Every structure is written in C-alpha cells, then in structure tokens.
Amino acid sequence: MRTFDYSRPDNALQAIGRTVNPGRSYLAGGTTLLDLVKLDVMKPTDVVDINRLPLKQIERLSDGRLRIGALVTNTQLAQHADIRQHYLVLSQALLAGASTQLRNKATTAGNLMQRVRCNYFRDGISPCNKRTPGSGCGAIGGHNRSVHAVLGTSDSCIATHPSDMCVAMAAIGARITVQGRDGTREIDFADFHLLPGKTPWQEHALEQNELITHITLDAPIEGGRSGYLKLRDRTSYQFALASSAVIVALEGQRIRDVRIAMGGVATKPWRVKAVEEALVGNRASEELFKRAAAIAFEDAHAYSQNAFKIPLGQQAVVRNLRNLLA
C-alpha cells in the first residue's frame, strides 16, 4: 500500500503550496484520480483536497461572457439556466457523458484535466509513453479501435481525449484562469490541451504549482443555435467513437457564423476552423456540409482498427449541421 500526505486548504495559495512538488495531486470530485490511484497508474505523494475553496459559482460578466468556478459540478453546469439558454451545446455534451452519479461528483476543472481511457495507459504493465516515457506505445500495433485517434497523433501516442464537455468548450471558445504563486494568468482554451508529439506525458499547459480556478466562456453568438452529437457503441455510459459540437447562425439562407469542434477522433478537443471557413457565406445544403466535413480529415491517419472513424467523424458533423438547420 502506498502512503501519501493529505491536506484540506482554505484558499488557492495554500493549495498550491510554497514549494514545487511533482507528486502533488488535487482532489475535487475524484472521479479520475481515485480510479487511477487504485490502478497504481497515478502515484501521488501529496493529495490536496480543494473542496473548501470558494470556486463553486457561475456568473454572467458585463461583456456577456460566462465565468464558471473550477468546482462547479457537471450536473450543476448542465442544468444552469444560462447554460441551457445560451450554451445548449455544452449542456447536451455534459449530459451525454458518464452517469448521473459521476456527473454529480465530477467538477468542471477536473473534466478539463481528464486522463485518457487507453487500456495500455490504464493497465499499468503495457508499453505506454504517457505513463512511462520512452517505453513505447502499445496501441499503435495493438488494439486501437475505440479510444484511439486519427487526428493529432504521433509515433509516441494515439490515445483520444475522452471529454465531451471539452469538445463543446472548444467550439464555444473559452479562457482558463490559473492561480500560481506569483498571481493569476489566463490560457486560451485552444492552447490548454497539448498534442502528444514526442512528449505525450505533457498533457496540458499548466506549470508546476498552478491551479485552475475559473473557466470563462466566450459570449454566445447572436442568433446562434447549437447542438452536440455523440456517436458511440451504446447510448449510455460510453465514450465517443466520434462526436461533434456545432454552433451556427444564419443570415437568410446563408451561414453567417459557425463554430465546430470534434471529439472521439483526436488526441485533444479538435476545433476545425478550416471546416468553418468552408461553410461561412455559403447557402446551407447537404452537399456543402459533406464537402466541408471532408476537409476535417484531410490529414487523418488511421490505424489497423479505427479507419471507420474517418467517415463516422464526417457523419457526426454533417448530421449535426443538418439537424440544426433543417
């Protein structure tokens, strides 16, 4: 049995601590941390319970943006009136993930920090560069059907990012506020999750001794309608094979503004701006949707068992656009 120190600070600076500790992990809902500690994949030496921190509020800012505390639960966020009215895609994405019990515990910042569901990462013994740098990637030549990517991969890692919430936030646009010893800074949501490249163990842009305190969503698109479409092997408690988050606004019969992100097919929440550019200014039609969706996968690289994700991912975009604009 492994031992660790445990503390319950009252503010963010206490949680961060005065010294850098690579073995420090933050405990909020614990829906990922506790699983991986039990599997002996994560081995914290210092567990900091942050549930006392005053980070459980959702507030509308004067510029129209929405500020979400790091400890707001997935259930609270999905059911919040502002989210349901102005960011329906986010509410739908949250409700498509996990189970009611997990959503009641899981937090907004914890969802941002989710670890991958790759079996080679979680089994504790297989080659996995994310878990043991330099050991290799068992998925590349192994079982790579469901939770492995065709976009943003490298020779070091092909695991998909598991979050539904993050796909919706990638489409909406957001800023992540983090607290450090010397003050706060903001990270653009698009820059927060890192591609695996040669360093797949570096999953996010947080520095040592930094703590997420808030996520601020961009102001909603005027006249926009939105939706989240998740394609999976079964309709509950399953990770996406392919998903899309779409926000779109029309001017007459033409697309005035659109934002699209994808999940289940990439190593991070995948905003597809080239697809957006192909849609804006054009008259909405099935043929336009298909041509635009194909652009998202021009640089895709399939592996032995997941080539089906390329047409499936295109369908996730086309069907979502069709549903919203029918």
Number of domains in the chain: 2
User: At a CB cut-off of 8 Å and minimum separation 6, what does 41 contact?
Assistant: 115, 121, 122, 124, 131
Q: According to the model, what pLDDT value does residue 86 have? A: 98
Q: According to the model, what pLDDT value does residue 299 have? A: 97
The pLDDT-based confidence of 121 (bands split at 50, 70, 90) is: very high
End-to-end CA distance of the chain: 57
Name which of 171, 161, 162, 167 is nearest 273 in CA terms: 171
**Domain end marker among 36, 51, 66:** 51
Q: Does any domain span residue 267?
A: yes
The pLDDT-based confidence of 163 (bands split at 50, 70, 90) is: very high
Task: Give the C-alpha separation, 132 to 118, whole Å.
Answer: 14
Q: Does any domain span residue 241?
A: yes
Q: Does any domain span residue 88?
A: no
User: At a CB cut-off of 8 Å and minimum separation 6, what does 240 contact?
Assistant: 164, 230, 231, 232, 263, 264
> Given the structure tokens 């065709």, which residue do they identify?
150
> Given the structure tokens 């895709």, which residue do they identify?
300
What distances in angstroms separate CA 99 from CA 81, 103, 106, one per listed residue? 21, 6, 10
3-state secondary structure of 174: strand
H/E segment holding residue 248: strand 242-251
Q: According to the model, what pLDDT value does residue 20 have? A: 85
pTM above 0.95, yes or no: yes
- We report the CATH number of the domain holding residue 19 as 3.30.43
The pLDDT-based confidence of 279 (bands split at 50, 70, 90) is: very high
- We report the CATH number of the domain holding residue 229 as 3.30.390.50
Q: Does any domain span residue 307?
A: yes
Q: According to the model, what pLDDT value does residue 18 have? A: 82
Name which of 108, 248, 253 is nearest 171 in CA terms: 248
pLDDT at 281 over 80: yes
Q: Does any domain span residue 321?
A: yes
- Please check whether residue 15 is in contact with residue 26, taking contact to mean a CB–CB distance below 8 angstroms: yes
Q: pLDDT per residue over 189-233, tens digit each? A: 999 999 999 999 999 999 988 999 999 999 999 999 999 999 999
Strand partners, 211: 179
pLDDT at 1 over 80: no
Strand partners, 26: 48
**Residue 31, CA atoms < 13 Å, CB-side half-sphere:** 24
Q: Average pLDDT, whole number, for the chain?
A: 97
Q: Does any domain span residue 39?
A: yes
- Please check whether residue 313 is in contact with residue 297, taking contact to mean a CB–CB distance below 8 angstroms: yes
Q: Does any domain span residue 315?
A: yes
Name which of 171, 31, 177 is nearest 87 in CA terms: 171
> Given the structure tokens 């979400």, which residue do they identify?
68
3-state secondary structure of 12: helix
Q: According to the model, what pLDDT value does residue 208 have? A: 87
The pLDDT-based confidence of 19 (bands split at 50, 70, 90) is: confident
Domain coverage including residue 13: 5-51
Least confident range of 128-132, 232-236, 272-276: 232-236
Q: Does any domain span residue 268?
A: yes
Q: Which long-range contacts (CB under 8 A, 24 or more apart) does 201-206 make?
A: 201/129, 201/130, 201/131, 201/133, 203/115, 203/130, 204/112, 204/113, 206/178
